[in-house]
Amino acid sequence: MIAEEPRLDPGRVTELAQSLETELARLIVGQKALVRDTVITLIAGGHMLLEGVPGLGKTVLVRSLGQALKLTFARIQFTPDLMPADIVGTNIIREERGRREFQYQAGPLFANLVLADEVNRATPKTQSALLEAMQERTVTVGTETRALPVPFFVLATQNPIELEGTYPLPEAQLDRFFFKSLVPFPSEEELLEIARRTTGRATPQLKAVADDKAILAAQEVAREVPIAEHVLAYAGKLIMATHPQRTELETVRRYVRFGASPRGLQALVLAGKVRALLEGRYNVAFDDLVAVAHPALRHRVFLQFEAEADDVTADQLIDEVVEKTDKAKAAG
Amino acid sequence: MSSLDGVVSELRWSAVRSSALSYLLHAVLAAAAWILAVVIAARFFPLEHAPRFEAIGVPIAFVAVAVAWIAVRPGSMKLMRTADVRLGLKERLSTAWERRGQDGPMDAVLRQDALEKAARTRLAAAYPVGLRPGEVWLTLAVAVAAVGLVLLPNPMDQLLAQRRDDRAAQAQAAETVAAAQKKIAAASPAAQVDPQIQKILQDARARIASAPDPRAALQNITPAEQKLLQLSDPQTPARASTAQNLANNLSATNGGRAASQALNASPSQGARAIRDLASQLQNLSPQDRAQLAQALATAAQQAKDPEMAASLQQASSALASGDVSAAATSMDALAGQLDSLQQQESNDQQIAAAINGLEAARQQLASQADRDAAGAGASASPSAGAGGSAGSGAGGSGNGTGNGTGSGNGSGTGNGGGGSGGTGGQGSSGSGAGQGTGAQSTERVYVPAAPIPGQSENDPAPLAPGQDVPLTPYDQVIQAYEQVALDAADQSLIPGSERDLVRSYFSSLGEQGGGR
């Protein structure tokens, strides 16, 4: 068998990720878990849903990412009157040398990094347009389908408060997001550091540590990280344990309406692979799966009303699933 | 670390080293638990071979644990996984081992990374050598409990000893019956040995040997004796009496004197002599024939057996009428009846020998059954021995023996004459012997200070100087003995016929004593 050489040295991926995290940390105070989740999603080739109140640095994060990776960046503020054409682009009539013809004008989706701010404020029609683009990485205007630039990374945000007048994303669309990360409010110390960095005369400028090609290469390398069968089996057990009909956990049976989908398993394993690389390893460990379980599964575990009534969150259930799923037993 | 195989080898050796001590402790625990279980069971149930069970369990426990140790040896993948978890190697070893045959883009760097991490780690730490304190304490506790219970006396030992004695007594009784069988077979020609007697003895022997206890074994003896008694012909005494009367009558005749002597010797010789006499009737003188006819007629009148009486009467009548041929025919028939008597007597002797054998076995079993009932185990409790009963005889002499268990001695004297026998001595053990001397029927008989059963037996009151030996009237002694004997007979498993013998014996003594 002829060995298939990776396009990028696995060690370089680790360096790239670490340097990216270091560069982002120059501008973003704290939020290490968020930055790590963002990097993992980027290298895994997925999209990310951020949930947090306004003003926590979500936009800064995406913009900084664009700067650090020399990628194009676009921000779309989702509102109820936002139409699909506003994001995917539209054909407009142009007059050129006396001739009028339709010419396609690309929308803001045609960027490497797209920040879909407050995505739950747009109508389902517009949300669907965005989510189709996320899944297919193409947009269709009229009869013509156009490919989006690669890498294509959507970072959507939604506000957990002020839910009036919003259109919550349906389960099927939530499943399209690779990760759902929560943006925590910074600590007091971090708040002070934010103030110090952003209220001075100059804001730190990030330097590019990689380009689109490096990102694409890293994405390919990540998929080649091996995972042992018993570790994969553990990932499968985690997914199965989120299903009320197939789990032995009483809380899951009681509070969960639907468990994680196969996409959840894909996200778990792929995120585990990326995390292994970021940790300087060339194999997926149980710890990798445990570390990415929350962002990979929290938006894929759909709760009963009873959970809301009892103030039980998906994260709590995932904690229990992880705690109660025996690694050795899962591995057989 | 040169290769993943090397890692596996080192881990395997570490696992073997680690588990060996643990499994050894488990083997000791299993053995101790087994011994403890057997010892505890032996305190609730009478286990015959508890030490053997304990001894057998120990190697079995060790072998079982050894087999388990070998059977559950971890495979290479298991070793690698365990090492990953215990050494914090983040599944490097197991992933590299799983993909050891793969040649993917990352497999080489994965193996290198795994080997580097393994080299920097003490792999033996994945399988530490040591024992869990809880298991050690448990093993110690079980072992101490087992040893303690082994050393403490077991209340079941007494029961087991009794069972052993029971079996020994049953085996001895069975041997006694077997000896009676052999004796019968040896005493009689093979053709004359009654197979039914042998069968009855054989069955009784088997039942005695297989009975659960001596008391149950005893219950097989009486039915056997009854079967044996059913084999005897009730006419035998009448025929023997008839033959004896015939011999007496013939002794006074010229022609029948030889036949008389032969009849006195045995019925079979008598039969031959009668046949000879029948064949020589022609040669006898008329006076001798008449004399012979008279003797035969007298014998016929005295005969208690109807068949023999008829033969004798026919022979006598034929001789008296001069019909020698008919007389010879009748005498041949008489000879045949004598042959039959000989066979019956032989049979009765075999039956008697068989019953004697069974009685001997009964005594052995009864003795053990009494010990069992008394709960005295193997040691016999002192008890009063039955006094020997003196025999009675017309010759005025009698003797008797008495057997007892325990300690003590007995003595007795018997007075014979007038048909009364002496009484045996009574003692708490041993034997009593009676001697009979002739006495007049009108004489009042006393026995010297023979203690009456139920009264003080071992310590007769000392005599004052000059005081004569105190005497007890004979009839009181006999009455007392009769009561004891009848009580004993009623309480023992003896055939009714034997019980009647005892009763008739004392009745006859009473009748004779009434004349004193």
Q: Which CATH number do you get for residue A19? A: 3.40.50.300
The whole-number pLDDT of residue A238 equals 95
- pLDDT of B470 > 70? The answer is no
Boundary of a domain, candidates A156, A186, A216: A216
Query: Confidence class of residue B285 from pLDDT cuts 50, 70 and 90?
Result: confident
Asked if residue A3 is part of any domain, the answer here is no
Lowest-pLDDT range of B124-128, B157-161, B272-276, B411-415: B411-415
CATH number at residue A321: 1.10.8.80
Domain count, chain A: 2
Q: Where do the DSSP E strands lie in B70-113?
A: none
* Residues of A with Cβ-Cβ distance to B91 under 8 angstroms: 228, 231, 283-286
**pLDDT value at B449 more than 80:** no
First CA to last CA distance, chain B: 121
The answer to whether A204 and A26 are in contact (CB under 8 A) is yes
Range in A54-63, B218-227, B460-469 the model is least confident about? B460-469
pLDDT value of position A7: 54
Phi and psi at residue B255, in whole multiples of 5°? Answer: -75, -25
pLDDT surpasses 80 at A253: yes
| 3-state secondary structure (DSSP) of residue A144 | strand
Exposure of A228 in the CB half-sphere (CA atoms within 13 A):
33
Q: Token pair for residue B313?
A: 């009467």
Distant-in-sequence, close-in-space partners of A241: CB < 8 Å, separation ≥ 6: A247, A248, A249, A252, A259, A321, A324, A325
Q: Is B99 on the interface with A (CB under 8 A)?
A: yes
Domain containing A104 equals: 10-198+210-216
Domain boundaries, chain B: 4-151, 165-376, 399-459+468-514
A3 vs B105: CB contact, 8 Å cut-off?
Answer: yes
Question: Cα A149 from chain centroid?
Answer: 17
CA A117, distance to chain mean position in Å, is: 14
Compare A30 and B139 and report the one with higher pLDDT.
B139
Domain co-membership, A34 together with A181? yes
The tens digit of pLDDT for each residue in B502-514 reads: 878 888 876 665 5
Q: What is the pLDDT of residue A329?
A: 60
pLDDT interval class at B190 (50, 70, 90) = low
Task: Determine the residue of chain A that is closest to B112 in CA distance.
Answer: A282
Whether chain A has a CB inside 8 Å of the CB on B117: the answer is no
Q: In this model, does residue B423 exceed pLDDT 70? A: no
Q: Is B106 an 8 Å CB contact of chain A?
A: yes
Of A129, A328, A171, A299, nearest to A237 by C-alpha is A328
Nearest CA of chain B to the CA of A119: how many Å? 38
Exposed / middle / buried, residue A20 (Cβ in 10 Å: 0-12, 13-18, 19+): buried
Cα–Cα dist B385/B488, whole Å: 11
User: B469 is written with which tokens?
Assistant: 């030996």
| Lowest-confidence pick of A148-157, A168-177, A194-203, B184-193 | B184-193
Question: Hey, are the CB atoms on A283 and B105 less than 8 Å from each other?
Answer: no
B391 pLDDT more than 70 = no
Nearest-Å Rg of the Cα atoms of chain A is 21
B455 pLDDT more than 50: no
**Cα(A301)–Cα(A295) distance, integer angstroms:** 11
Average pLDDT, chain A: 89
Q: Span B110-134, mean pLDDT?
A: 90
- The answer to whether the CB of A20 falls within 8 A of the CB of A39 is yes
A98: exposed, middle or buried (Cβ count in 10 Å: 0-12, 13-18, 19+):
exposed
Residues of B in contact with A225 (CB under 8 A): 106
Closest residue on chain B to A231 (Cα): B91
Of A78-82, A199-203, B12-16, B37-41, where does mean pLDDT reach its minimum? A199-203
pLDDT above 60: residue A313: yes
Which range among A62-71, A116-125, B280-289 has the greatest average pLDDT?
A: A116-125
pLDDT tens track for A269-311: 999 999 999 999 999 999 999 999 999 999 999 999 999 899 9
Gap between the Cα atoms of A274 and A39, Å rounded: 9
Dump the DSSP string for A244-267: TTT---HHHHHHEEE---HHHHHH
CB of A93 closer than 8 Å to CB of A86: no
* Cβ atoms of residues B201 and B224 within 8 Å: yes
Asked if B296 and B335 count as a contact pair (C-beta separation under 8 A), the reply is no
Tokens of A234: 């553990």
Q: Give the C-alpha separation, B451 to A301, whole Å.
A: 107
> Cβ(B436)–Cβ(B428) under 8 Å?
no
Mean pLDDT to the nearest integer, B284-302: 87
B398, pLDDT greater than 50: no
**Per-residue pLDDT at B380:** 37
Q: Are residues A170 and A233 in the same domain?
A: no
Q: Does residue A4 fall inside a structural domain? A: no
Mean predicted lDDT score pLDDT of chain B: 77
Percent pLDDT > 90 in chain A is 55
Residues of A in contact with B81 (CB under 8 A): 230, 328, 331
Same domain for A188 and A239, yes or no, is no
- Report the SS3 class of residue A322: helix
Q: Do A109 and A194 reside in the same domain of the chain?
A: yes
Chain B residue with the nearest C-alpha to that of A331:
B81
Q: What are phi and psi of B384, to 5 degrees?
A: -75, 130
Residue B63 has pLDDT above 70, yes or no: yes
Distance CA A272, CA A80 (A): 36
Question: Which string of DSSP letters, residue by residue, matches B413-481?
Answer: -EEESTT-PPBPP--SSEEEEEEEEE--TTS--EEESPPPTTS--S-PPPPPTTPPPPEEEHHHHHHHH
A284 close to B (CB below 8 A): yes
| Rounded average pLDDT over B76-96 | 92
Q: What is the pLDDT of residue A312?
A: 94
With 90 as the cut, is the pLDDT of residue A6 above it?
Answer: no
CB contact under 8 Å between A228 and B113, yes or no, is: no
* Max mean pLDDT range (B114-123, B147-156, B400-409, B438-447): B114-123
Q: Which tokens go with A4? A: 């298939």
Tell me what ipTM this predicted complex has: 0.86
**CB within 8 Å: A281 and B113:** yes
Cβ-Cβ contacts under 8 Å for B415 (sequence gap 6 or more): B390, B421, B422, B436, B437, B438, B439, B445, B474
Q: Binning pLDDT at 50, 70 and 90, where does residue B469 land?
A: low
In a domain, A288, yes or no: yes
Same domain assignment for residues A189 and A231: no
Residue B480 CA to residue B501 CA, distance in Å, equals: 17
Instruction: Answer yes or no: is A51 within a domain.
Output: yes
Over residues A285-294, the pLDDT tens digits come to 999 999 999 9
d(CA B332, CA B316): 13
Alpha carbon of B120: minimum distance to chain A alpha carbons (Å)? 16
Q: Final residue of a domain: which of A165, A182, A216? A: A216
Distance CA A222, CA A273 (A): 6
> Do both A150 and A299 map to the same domain?
no
- How far is C-alpha B75 from the geometric centre of its chain's CA atoms? 63
Residue B394 clears pLDDT 80, i.e. is over it: no
Q: Is A114 part of any domain?
A: yes
The rounded distance, in Å, linking the Cα atoms of B433 and B402 is 7
Question: What pLDDT does residue B465 have?
Answer: 52
Strand B414-416 relative to strand B430-438, pairing:
parallel
At B380, the amino acid letter reads A
A60 DSSP β-pair partners? none
- CB proximity list for A86: less than 8 A, separation 6 or greater: A76, A107, A108, A126
CA distance B381 to B406: 6
Inter-chain touch A327–B98, beta carbons under 8 Å: no
In a domain, A248, yes or no: yes
Residue B391: closest CA among B352, B448, B434, B432: B434
Question: B313-360, pLDDT tens digit by residue?
Answer: 998 888 888 888 888 899 999 899 888 888 888 888 888 888 888 888
Integer Cα distance of B431 and A305 in angstroms? 104
| A65 and A123 part of one domain | yes
Whether B218 contacts B366, CB under 8 Å? yes
Tell me if chain A has a CB within 8 Å of the CB of B101.
no
